[in-house]
Amino acid sequence: MPIVQDDILRLVWKYKVDGVQTRGINTFYWKVTDLVSGDDSDVTDEMFDSINGVYDDISAHLSADYISEEIRITNATKREFVGDKAGTYVGTGAAGASMPGQVAVEILGRARKLGHVARKYLGPPIEAALDDGVLTAGAKTDFTTWMTNYVTLFIGNGPGNTYQPVMVKFAAGGAVASHEELDPDLGFVVDTARTQRSRTPGVGLT
């Protein structure tokens, strides 16, 4: 079925980092707040271009071994497939210079409603992005730009749909129960490196 206004879309960014033998995903949600075209291919192209642009902000802090494998979009409201595209993104940092696979930079997207936080774990970053486990000033600036672009609505570079980043709560069975819009003024980058268990060798994705 065509996408309609107020549908909530899920984008899954799948990637691998060959140098540290890990794979991972980042998941994002957007609400279509102004619809020009509900065609699946138009929406897929707009979201694909946008998410690649967001990740460009931190490419220097990801190893050349960091490669996006696929971007997959589904309609969370209707629980339908929208589209997918092969990944084209590659980090521009030094090849093989990544921290271990479980090391990540934590980004917090927050809503005005108390307790609503959307966490994103990015990486692993390259060693040069951290100094004793803390983001360098340059890396902090770039990850802050990534965060700002993530939590801010965007207008697609195509028909021109408008997409509002949201966090979603699901009911039993997988239906969307509720959502909250992310507030650009409340986004936050955590200075110290985090460990993501799901990317720990022997525990999560390998």
pLDDT at 112: 83
Q: Per-domain residue ranges for the chain?
A: 8-199
Q: pLDDT digit string (tens) for 94-148?
A: 998 999 999 999 999 998 876 678 899 999 999 999 999 999 999 999 999 999 9
CA proximity to 197, closest of 101, 112, 123, 75: 101
pLDDT at 138: 97
Q: Return d(Cα 109, Cα 117) in angstroms, integer.
A: 6
Q: pLDDT digit string (tens) for 21-44?
A: 999 999 999 999 999 999 999 999
Spacing of C-alpha 15 from chain mean position = 11
pLDDT of 185 higher than 70 = yes
pLDDT at 114: 62
Q: pLDDT digit string (tens) for 73-95?
A: 999 999 999 999 999 999 999 99
CA proximity to 26, closest of 110, 143, 118: 118
pLDDT at 196: 78
Taking each continuous run of H as one helix and of E as one strand, the counts in the chain are: 2, 13
Q: Categorize the per-residue pLDDT at 1 as very low, low, confident or very high, splitting at 50, 70 and 90.
A: confident
CA proximity to 199, closest of 67, 18, 22, 16: 22
Other CB atoms within 10 Å distance of the CB of residue 161: 24
Segments in 66-156 forming alpha helices (H): 137-151
pLDDT at 206: 39
Mean pLDDT of the chain: 93
Asked if residue 185 lies in contact with residue 52, where contact means CB atoms within 8 angstroms, the answer is no
Q: Return d(Cα 119, Cα 145) in angstroms, integer.
A: 16
